[in-house]
Structure 1
């Protein structure tokens, strides 16, 4: 399933009192090539079952979900999957959704609330943005899309292969060396332009913001780079000197490391942007869970920056409760008519995400928890200040 469509389905879920199971699994194989989550899953499900009364409607729903979850774990797991997310609530029209991913979740987690727990999935999507990996030489190009919805195991990663005819000395007969060289250069230039046009169109159509170039840095890159339109050049996140024998997995791993390194650099810039906006005279930023939740409820937030570590997300329960009560369902950007439990940190973190998504605010997860720890783990840049006579745009 498309990850963004799955997320919309999860945040629109209406609790009805039945237990909702959210499971996140690291499905990477161990040193013996075996998955380790199966035993853990059975153990944790058995433990959580003890929290329900026998013969209750809740345990009946839970048992149905256990049966379906374990059947999937034993028979339907894709051997190539590194991460798995499962969402189940039999008591709510037999809700059951599974996504198998190319990238792992950091830890195994199983949570039971009255609603889905979306934080790890939202973090996964943010930390794996869609990007194009272009492997190219003088007569061939392979275009891959990694990240975003393409981390779903059901997606085809290679989206385009461009193959042009090779030109060598035997094909041009008795041409002069200079004429032959001009022919080769024109051929390479034509090939580069064709590849660039294809990549630019794909980025525009798929709304992809990152591009990683792979190939011989001395032979093809000097021909390719000058052909990149300005908007595509700005999207280049890095270049890798990879040979024609690099496999799809090797290309994926190498380019993913480039994206991960870029994320760490971007994190500091995003946090600085929030802090500067909050400290500026125009007050176009807010810090902390309470103020961010209120701004989200008002539709003020342009972009929210939140810690990827729950330990950094701190708030005053009384103040959060007051914000939740002050904004009636339907006018607060919440996903359902039932408000979250303000005592439960994970539900409040989810609520921040839901209100951001429902108000079209950008969401950024920060991996280094120390960057946001002192402000409660979250902050936001605003579209407008409700207390100001005129809003002043924040410069990046």
Structure 2
């Protein structure tokens, strides 16, 4: 996290002097890594934007930066441990920064006079801190995950399941809570010739049940202490237990409100990298499930004047700062223009300021996303092809009705 802070401090303190800065956001999902498809994607983006870049900056201004980025992407070692990457390069200013990300909105290549870092800030805010509780029959582990790293904070076994005192905030998370499982077995009081098999089996199952609920209660207490210290925004629970969802009966309301879902994982052997990958898979799936709700909400709000469906309508609302959430079909592209003084994308070569000459763009969606982020709007990417057809280019939820 310290490295990210240093990088962002460097990028935010960058003072423009007329030298171009290349900003690249590139997807590195598992399907993009097959045969290094991401490298071909980058080359295709460069090819599509080359004419626009030359029109604005000249033919040689950013060639060195593009070659440097391509060389970096060609090294497999540089692509490890992330599902997206942001690269900022300006050879004339000796600027080179790389940020590995859990995801990116879509592949974007932009050339400006400053590094375009708003997407990084938006992703950091969206993901927040994720608390990950792993629990099986005798083992409890807790991880904290953010945009940059996944760190194990807590690890204990069943002997801690019975505690002689309450946890108190301020100390180490479960230190001093050692105890042992103790059970009081009543005397049978039955004749020596009587069978006590059924009673013994009942006591055995009650013991297992007591162990489970005691462990779930202990896990809740540990989570509350972790939440007090770290204030994580989301909670994910991992286990191979069939009854793991019963833990919800023990979770505090604050924790239930943050519960996103469950992952299947071997608690004893799970590494921070495996935990991170499974959590990102879960969050990705949750986003895909949310798409249908977003499109349905769009259809409902359009009739109430609280949403618009159509690229030109979205641009009009963006110019007024009235976009709350921007909906972008993953594969949508639209040629247009960019006004360099007004800093707005337009569909026609007409800018609002006098003597302002727009330059052409092969795809204005990249700049539309940047403008939406500048206005503190959220961005939702629609991946489902069927749902994409219900959006006429771009769509948006509005801050106030029209």
Scaled by the length of structure 1, what TM-score is found? 0.65
Q: 1:117 to 1:196 in 2, by over 3 A?
A: same
The alignment partner of 1:355 has SS state of helix
Query: What is the root-mean-square deviation in Å for CA atoms of aligned residues?
Result: 5.4
The alignment partner of 2:238 has SS state of strand
> 1:142 touches 1:161 (CA, 8 Å); kept in 2?
yes
Partner of 1:284: 306
1:367 deviates by 1.0
Partner of 2:317: 295
Q: From 228, 250, 258, give the equivalent of 1:227.
A: 250
Q: Which has the larger radius of gyration?
A: 2
CA displacement 1:328-383 (0-9 Å, x = unmatched)? 69xxxxxxxx9974x4143x223322222222222211112442445432211112
The alignment partner of 2:346 has SS state of helix
The alignment partner of 1:262 has SS state of helix
1:1-396 matched pairs, under 5 angstroms: 2=4, 9=11, 16=18, 18=20, 20=22, 22=24, 24=26, 26=28, 59=60, 62-63=63-64, 66=67, 70=71, 77=78, 79-80=80-81, 83-91=84-92, 93-101=93-101, 111=109, 113-114=111-112, 125=123, 129-130=127-128, 131-137=130-136, 140-146=139-145, 149-150=147-148, 155=149, 157-163=150-156, 166=159, 175-176=184-185, 181=207, 184=211, 187-188=214-215, 190-198=217-225, 200-201=227-228, 205-206=231-232, 208=233, 210-218=234-242, 221-222=245-246, 224-248=247-271, 249-280=273-304, 283-311=305-333, 313=334, 320-321=346-347, 325-326=351-352, 341=359, 343-346=360-363, 348-373=364-389, 375-385=391-401
> What CA distance in whole angstroms lies between the structure 1 residues aligned with 2:368 and 2:49?
26
> What CA distance in whole angstroms lies between the structure 1 residues aligned with 2:32 and 2:381?
28
**Structure 2 unmatched runs, 5+:** 163-178, 187-202, 340-344
> 1:238 touches 1:258 (CA, 8 Å); kept in 2?
yes
> What CA distance in whole angstroms lies between the structure 2 residues aligned with 1:88 and 1:138?
50
**Structure 1 unmatched runs, 5+:** 330-337, 388-396
> 1:20 touches 1:112 (CA, 8 Å); kept in 2?
yes
Partner of 2:167: none
CA displacement 1:222-254 (0-9 Å, x = unmatched)? 3x3122233432433322453333423444444
Partner of 2:175: none
> What CA distance in whole angstroms lies between the structure 1 residues aligned with 2:384 and 2:44?
31
The alignment partner of 1:144 has SS state of strand
Q: Give aligned pairs, total.
A: 355
Q: 1:126 to 1:267 in 2, by over 3 A?
A: farther
> 1:296 touches 1:355 (CA, 8 Å); kept in 2?
yes
The alignment partner of 1:381 has SS state of strand
1:266 deviates by 0.3
Q: 1:7 to 1:344 in 2, by over 3 A?
A: farther
The alignment partner of 2:266 has SS state of coil
> What CA distance in whole angstroms lies between the structure 1 residues aligned with 2:276 and 2:120?
21
Q: 1:320 to 1:13 in 2, by over 3 A?
A: farther
The alignment partner of 1:310 has SS state of coil
CA displacement 1:41-91 (0-9 Å, x = unmatched)? 8999899999999xx986265336635863786597265456443221223
The alignment partner of 2:237 has SS state of strand
Q: 1:324 to 1:225 in 2, by over 3 A?
A: farther
